[in-house]
Amino acid sequence: MTTIDDLQVGAELPPLRLPPITRTTLALFAGASGDHNPIHIDLDVARSAGLDDVFAHGMLSMAYLGRLLTGWVPQHRIRSYRVRFAAITPVHAEPTCTGRVVSVADGLATLELAVTLADGTTTLTGDAVIDLN
């Protein structure tokens, strides 16, 4: 496991593999986040939008990436965290969160982040800056 003390460019964080996204996961996240957009929880609404099924909130994937980071370093060391939503996460998908160090300078490490699905789809990309001191 990569620790903050032996951090080098190219080092990878231990991946965070998540269980399949279920309808229960989406309902619980909607309640916890206050994001009750029906496209995430109502099959009829999703179908009326031309989709086969509901899909996960983008912020759920962002939360999973945050969990990857805080499972590795204490929250107070995170100086910035940004993401870009790239694709939807369908119900039953199994996301994996990854991080890789792309630079270390002046007591800060910059990480490249991603959430990918088993089929290779990248649903989220981003970066974070971590204080090494």
Output the six-digit token pair for 3.
């620790």
- Angle, nearest 10°, between helix axes 58-70 and 23-33? 80
pLDDT at res. 35: 85
3-state helix, strand, coil in the chain (%, to 5): 30, 30, 40
pLDDT per residue as tens digits for the range 25-42: 999 999 999 888 888 888
Counting as low any pLDDT under 70, the low residues of the chain are 1-6
Among the CATH numbers 3.40.640.10, 1.20.120.450, 3.10.129.10, 3.20.20.80, which is that of 4-131? 3.10.129.10
pLDDT at res. 34: 87
Which residues, other chains included, contact 129 with Cβ-Cβ below 8 Å and sequence gap of 6+?
Answer: 78, 79, 80, 81, 108, 109, 110, 111
pLDDT at res. 10: 94
